[in-house]
């Protein structure tokens, strides 16, 4: 049984098909990179998988269960985490508090307004562990607004990890990063791949080629090629897409 599948997945906005009859088969324990020109439908595909958009037709199945039509929080509770292209952080809170809030969302007691959050020892210990995992322990009490861009991207992943995913969707994790920050993120993703299944959208080919087990190439809403990096690089359809403007 495939870990995650999409069958004839389609999303239309009026006459525009942003995603058109996409079939996917994601295997557990692998790193998949989705590449393609701007406007190819990559982020829309992520939105369909994570429940942020409802498909026009087709279905997504995760661990044998159809998840199309579920709300994002329901899909998250099933074990699919996501980091976004634009960070979704609380800038006036510190690193620890951002992670802790994400963990709290998993606990029924989160609605008990009369119990001070610091009393949740298990939540605090888990938050500490995640902050250490993403390499931000030295900034644990620093307000997020004062972090570097690269550290904010790491924190965004940490918040996704706080929801206990088995599959994580990462939308351009190295976007806007300097070369040294990109190298740091590559090593972080490689470490993460030993524990989780990862699907990422990425434009930087050095990142894609260094971490991916499989590539999925989208163009004009359709999957035009898939395979290991060497196979995809040799595909004439991919070369034409690159010449058409892929970054």
What digits encode the pLDDT tens for the residues 83-126? 876 667 899 999 999 999 999 877 655 545 555 555 568 889 99
pLDDT value of position 246: 42
Residues of the chain with pLDDT > 70, as a percent, come to: 90
Please provide the CATH number assigned to the domain covering 1-79+165-184+197-247: 3.40.50.300
pLDDT band at 247; cut points 50, 70, 90: very low
Domain coordinates in residue numbering, the chain: 1-79+165-184+197-247, 88-164
pLDDT digits (tens, 9 = 90+) for 159-211: 999 999 999 999 999 988 889 999 999 999 999 999 999 999 998 988 999 99
pLDDT at position 239 is 81
> 3-state SS string over 58-126?
EEEEECCEECCCCCHHHHHHHCEEEECCCCCCCCCCEHHHHHHHHHHCCCHHHHCCCCCHHHCHHHHHH
Determine contact, residues 167/199, Cβ cutoff 8 Å.
Answer: yes
Q: pTM to 2 decimals?
A: 0.88
């Amino acid at each position: 049984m495939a870990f995650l599948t999409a069958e004839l997945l389609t999303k239309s906005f009026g006459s525009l098909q942003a995603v058109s009859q996409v079939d996917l088969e994601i295997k557990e324990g692998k790193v998949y990179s989705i590449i393609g020109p701007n406007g190819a439908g990559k982020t829309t595909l992520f939105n369909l998988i994570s429940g942020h958009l409802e498909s026009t037709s087709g279905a997504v199945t995760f661990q044998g269960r159809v998840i199309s039509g579920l709300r994002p929080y329901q899909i998250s509770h099933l074990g699919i985490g996501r980091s976004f292209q634009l960070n979704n952080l609380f800038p006036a809170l510190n690193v620890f508090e951002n992670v802790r809030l994400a963990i709290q969302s998993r606990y029924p007691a989160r609605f008990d307004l009369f119990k001070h959050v610091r009393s949740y020892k298990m939540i605090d210990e888990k938050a500490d562990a995640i902050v250490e995992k993403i390499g931000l322990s030295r900034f644990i009490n620093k307000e997020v607004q004062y972090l570097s861009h690269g550290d904010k991207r790491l924190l965004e992943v940490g918040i996704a990890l706080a929801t206990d995913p088995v599959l994580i969707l990462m939308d351009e994790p190295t976007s806007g990063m300097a070369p040294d920050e990109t190298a740091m993120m590559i090593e972080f993703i490689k470490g993460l791949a030993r524990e989780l299944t990862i699907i990422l959208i990425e434009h930087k080919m050095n990142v894609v080629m260094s971490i991916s087990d499989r590539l999925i190439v989208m163009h004009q809403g359709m999957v035009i090629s898939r395979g290991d990096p060497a196979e995809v690089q040799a595909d004439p359809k991919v070369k034409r897409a690159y010449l058409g403007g892929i970054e």
